[in-house]
Amino acid sequence: MVKGSHCRQRGATYLGLLFAVALAGIALAGAGTLWSLESRRDKERELLFIGEEYRRAIASYYDKGPNGVREYPQKLEDLLQDRRFPMPVHHLRRLYRDPMTNSRDWELLRVQGGISGIASRATGKPLKVAGFSAQQDGFESAASYQSWQFTHGGSGASAMAGIQAAPAETPER
């Protein structure tokens, strides 16, 4: 009789262990989902920061044209060293990667042949849908990250007249 009682205890221990492993699996799955969402939120914040850096640099390039001539840069590298002056002007510290795609392959928005803005090539739906700055007017209704267009002279929604998307230059890596 003692032998049967011992087997039942091992069976109960085994069931308890299976239950604990199942609970741990559920908890890890939940933690993974939360981590994934937080990672996307971080990338969105980074995209908003980088987009505004490019917008600011393009505006600086445009506004500081020599002899009052206002023109947009022909390539993103022009923002690093503006050679229109005797001493090159730096409008941007470095070329940034798109945090959503992890590449430098930005969608370039052009006006009169020059780059007036950038946009991500990521097609995912943004998590952030409210709380944007005034320059980011129209981002609330964006269907994808591609709709977050950082253009000189306003938001992607209000400054789209005359702006055409162009293939991005892919710098040497």
* pLDDT at residue 171 is higher than 50: no
168: pLDDT confidence band, cut at 50, 70 and 90? very low
pLDDT digits (tens, 9 = 90+) for 11-57: 778 888 887 888 877 877 777 777 878 899 999 999 999 999 999 99
In the chain, the number of structural domains is 1
Q: Tell me whether residue 172 is in a domain.
A: no
pLDDT digits (tens, 9 = 90+) for 91-121: 999 999 999 999 999 999 999 899 999 999 9
Q: If residue 107 lies in a helix (H) or strand (E), which one and from where to where?
A: strand 107-111
* pLDDT at residue 156 is higher than 50: no
The pLDDT, as a whole number, for residue 165 is 52
Q: Tell me whether residue 98 is in a domain.
A: yes
Pull the structure tokens for residue 160. 């789209």
Asked whether the beta carbons of 107 and 145 are under 8 A apart, the reply is: no
The pLDDT, as a whole number, for residue 20 is 80
Q: Tell me whether residue 91 is in a domain.
A: yes
Q: Tell me whether residue 171 is in a domain.
A: no
Q: Tell me whether residue 173 is in a domain.
A: no
Mean pLDDT of the chain: 83
Domain that holds residue 147: 2-166
Pull the structure tokens for residue 96. 């940034």
The pLDDT, as a whole number, for residue 124 is 92
Beta bridge partners, 114, equal 111
